[in-house]
């Protein structure tokens, strides 16, 4: 997966993606994808790409849902894969509000109504809306909890209520702020 686009030097982004296409052609990997690509980055990539990325891994949780990115992914047949899918970034980095997704009253109310946890409600929301989600936990009990989301169903009104929590405030870095000056690292092995 290409971790991010380099908007100011998209030629380097294209070159890096071509390396992924070669890995795929050589049978070294089964699928290739991108991460944090905005709609204009996808358009630019697909001008030269011979393989459509399997996934676009982007920040999606109830407080930041990126509907335009999800629509662009869908239009190109790319699966949206949600990082920080249960809003980890809202608690470990903070969004400027004191509320984390785990304590959000809308989410905790829906969780209580189904006898589920807030994490399970958020993961079910992704599942029902057709996204792939990659929650992280170091605790076996939570890992088991996070996969146990197949025996209940959120209503359309509950899905809408979670969608309405979108603040439009990104937790991760702005994709346009990714520059060589700020992020360039030498990789001697490369
Ligand atoms: N492409 C990118 O730029 C990018 C950026 C960020 C992350 N990611 C990927 O996305 C994955 C997940 O994102 P993330 O770690 O930022 O956030 P996340 O999965 O939304 O949340 C992880 C946080 O939630 C806690 N947690 C997990 N399950 C829980 C549960 N059932 N109940 C309560 N708390 C729970 C974890 O703590 P414990 O571990 O203590 O349970 C951890 O603090 C990462 O592993 C990484 O691979 C990608």
pLDDT, tens only, 87-137: 999 876 545 555 789 999 999 999 999 999 999 999 999 999 999 999 999
> Is the pTM higher than 0.85?
yes
Question: Residue 72 — very low, low, confident or very high, per pLDDT cuts 50/70/90?
Answer: very high
CA atoms within 13 A on the CB side of 138: 0
Neighbours of 92 (CB within 10 A): 10
Q: What is the pLDDT of residue 90?
A: 84
In short, whether 85's Cβ falls inside 6 Å of ligand 1 is yes
In short, whether 100's Cβ falls inside 6 Å of ligand 1 is no
Sequence-ordered list of residues with C-beta below 8 angstroms from that of 102, at least 6 positions apart, any chain: 86, 87, 91, 118, 119
On whether the CB atoms of residues 64 and 165 are closer than 8 A, the answer is no
* CATH 3.40.50.720 correct for 7-183: no
CA atoms within 13 A on the CB side of 143: 5
Report how far ligand 1's centroid is from the alpha carbon of 26 (Å): 32
């Amino acid at each position: 997966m290409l971790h991010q686009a380099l908007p100011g030097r998209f030629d380097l982004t294209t070159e890096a993606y071509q390396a992924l296409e070669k890995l795929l052609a050589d049978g070294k990997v089964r699928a290739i994808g991108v991460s944090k690509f905005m709609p204009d980055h996808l358009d630019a990539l697909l001008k030269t790409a011979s393989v459509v990325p399997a996934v676009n891994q982007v920040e999606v949780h109830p407080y930041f849902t990126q509907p335009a990115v999800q629509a662009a992914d869908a239009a190109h047949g790319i699966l949206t894969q949600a990082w920080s899918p249960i809003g980890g970034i809202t608690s470990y980095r903070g969004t400027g509000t004191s509320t984390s997704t785990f304590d959000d009253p809308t989410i905790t109310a829906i969780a209580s109504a189904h006898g589920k946890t807030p994490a399970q409600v958020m993961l079910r929301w992704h599942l029902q809306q057709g996204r792939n989600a990659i929650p992280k936990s170091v605790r076996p009990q939570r890992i088991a909890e996070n996969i146990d989301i197949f025996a209940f169903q959120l209503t359309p009104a509950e899905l809408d209520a979670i969608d309405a929590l979108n603040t439009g405030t990104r937790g991760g870095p702005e994709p346009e702020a990714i520059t060589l000056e700020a992020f360039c690292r030498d990789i001697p092995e490369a």
